[in-house]
Structure 1
Amino acid sequence: MQTFLIPGLWLDASSWDAVTPAIEAAGYRAHPLTMPGLEANDADRNGITLDTHIDHVVHLIDEVPADEKVALVAHSGGALVAYGAVDRRPERVDRVVYVDSWPGGEGSIVNDEVPHDDADMPFPGWDAFDEGDVRDITPELGEEIAGHTHPSPSHAATDPLHLTDERRLDVPATIVITTMSAEDLNELIDRGVGWLGDTPRLSSLHIAGLPTGHWPQFTKPQELSELIVDALAE
């Protein structure tokens, strides 16, 4: 199975460094991605949109031979990129794993509250996040994670997601939830809260809890790796 790992805002492929070895050891081909505009701090992010990122993943899916399976693993804001790719290629994606994230719905955006201009959304620093988000992030680890960050293209974070193919709802999904309990997430799904988008409509959804902060690929990489491998094996 070809497994594409999509980072959240501000992160590049290196954010998956502690996770990919276990995925490879389990027999899956891991492809951690650096999305367009995240190559360097001084990358040109003008004109890069959410669709740019979705198109990038769709292109990679299209390059996989038809007889090979495809999985997507998405952290945080990468969830809308993954779900947009599933919407465009529902017949080619066999499973999606959302890491402290979930599928959006029509019109969902990643985040328009972080300060940004028309091209760049810089990493805002740890004080911008809630206590639960930064759980298990020590000052030393915070510096390490920040060293992996680059400004995100602002339109990739603020453009609305557009969906067209209802077959996306039948692609099996796993949510690894880290900043709330699995029970609390299930309750929200049962209530059909709007910000969960299409999550309550998915035909096949498994929820796994991993208590930590919003960046488990850094705070609990071994545990996250095991949950991802379990999800890919289903």
Structure 2
Amino acid sequence: MTQTAHGTAHDSSHDTAPDTAGQPAHVVLVPGFWLGAWAWEDVVGHLRAGGLEPLVLTLPGLDPEGTSTGRGAITLEDHVTAIEDALAAAPAGARTILVAHSGAAIPATVALDRHVERVDHVVWVDTAPVVHGFALAPDVEGGEHPLSAQWDEEFEMGAMEGLTEQQLTTFRERAVPQPTGTMRDAAALRDERRLDVPGTVVCTAFDADSYRSYAEQGMDLLAGILEHRQLRLVDLPTGHWPMWSRPGDLAEIILEVARAE
């Protein structure tokens, strides 16, 4: 079954096939802001066809019923814990591939820092590992940050490139407010071994050269590119949500990583 954290599992009992190493990799898919496990549905189909059965997360507070559980009380630590639990669910002997999109890079980096021995590779989707002390929006107010607060800005920046009208409609209908604690809290990192964990940065909204240039110019969100020693940057030209605009190509990158020895 495709497993979800704080969500519903989907039957996939007929989708079992080993990878080239004889043991399917343990792939954990973490969506970015405003999204739940549903955002990965198109990618999951391609991964299953390639012999993988990913564990797909809906992080705390990002389920549709999140208001009843109090989004304003959700912290970065809650999101880290959900990813830690997903890493711990890996079958014995399986390679673990952590895939983080956008703002999920923050809890993903913290989880990596705490469990270096459990992660074989990280795929950073239009994002990058963060550095110690990074907080996305330390001054954000309130308990929830809705998609509507950034919709126009995302369009102006070209982040919606490649999305159909139907996909845009679905995005607006299914997106839920981001708990602001996950934006306000800073990443506490302690284990420098994380810097040697192999990673693939999937550059979508900008190309790889631009990613490196922005990091060198001091863009805080991309500063981890200058620290991590085993990062491969690959271009996948599209907007900020390649799981919808180019799901097959994104899945192929993940499959390539999962099949590597």
TM-score normalised to structure 2 length? 0.82
Instruction: Give the corresponding residue for 1:62.
Output: 88
Kept in 2: contact 1:116–1:122 (CA 8 A): no
1:15 pairs, out of 28, 33, 39, with 39
Range with bigger deviation, 2-11 or 140-149: 140-149
Alignment of 1:43-54 (within 5 A): 43=68, 44-54=70-80
1:27 equivalent among 32, 51, 57: 51
Superposition pairs of residues 89-128 of structure 1, within 5 angstroms: 89-111=115-137, 116-117=141-142, 119-124=143-148, 126-128=151-153
Write the letter of the residue equivalent to 2:158.
G
Output the CA distance in 2 between the equivalents of 1:67 and 1:112: 39
Q: Using the TM superposition, give the Cα deviation of residue 86 of structure 1 relative to its aligned residue in structure 2, in angstroms.
A: 0.3
Gaps of 5+ in 1: none
Provide the secondary structure at the position in 2 that maps to 1:18.
helix
Judge conservation of contact 1:208–1:227 (CA < 8 Å) in 2: no
Deviates more, 1:103-112 or 1:168-177: 103-112
Residue 97 of structure 2, aligned match among 65, 71, 96: 71
Alpha-carbon contact 1:15-1:148 (below 8 Å) kept = no
Structure 1 residue 233 and structure 2 residue 253: aligned? no
The 3 A distance-change label for structure 1 pair 216 and 52 is same
Does the 8 A contact of 1:72 with 1:95 survive in 2? yes
Q: Look up the SS of the partner of 2:181 in the other structure.
A: helix
SS in 2 for 1:19: helix
Distance 1:167 1:79 in 2: 17
Q: How does 1:112-191 map to 2 (within 5 A)?
A: 116-117=141-142, 119-124=143-148, 126-129=151-154, 130-189=156-215, 191=216
Over the aligned positions, Cα root-mean-square deviation in angstroms equals 1.9
Q: What is the CA-CA distance between 1:4 and the residue it aligns to?
A: 0.8
Q: 1:28-49 CA distances to partner (integer Å, 9 max, x unpaired)? A: 3301110001111534213211
Q: Does structure 1 conserve the Cα–Cα contact (< 8 Å) formed by 2:212 and 2:225? A: no
Aligned length, in residue pairs: 231
Structure 2, unpaired ranges of 5+: 1-24
Secondary structure of 2:206 counterpart = coil
In 2, the alpha carbon distance for the partners of 1:122 and 1:162 equals 26
1:39 paired with 2:67, answer: no
Q: Which amino acid aligns with 1:64?
A: A
2:13 corresponds in structure 1 to: none
| CA distance in 2 between partners of 1:128 and 1:187 (Å) | 22
TM-score (norm. length: structure 1): 0.91
**2:100 partner SS:** strand
Larger Rg: 2
Q: Distance in 1 between matches of 2:84 and 2:166?
A: 36
Q: CA deviation at 1:174?
A: 0.3
- After superposition, the Cα gap between the structure-2 partners of 1:64 and 1:223, relative to the gap in structure 1 and judged at 3 Å, is closer
In the other structure, the counterpart of 1:205 is 231
Counterpart contact for 1:170–1:204, Cα < 8 Å: yes
Deviation of 1:230 after TM superposition, in Å, equals 1.9
Q: Which has the higher contact order (CA 8 A, sep 6+)?
A: 1
Identity of aligned residues (%): 33
Looking at structure 2, the residues matched to 94 and 75 of structure 1 have their Cα atoms a distance apart, in angstroms, of: 17
Q: Structure 1 pair 82/131, CA: closer, same or farther in 2 (3 Å)?
A: same
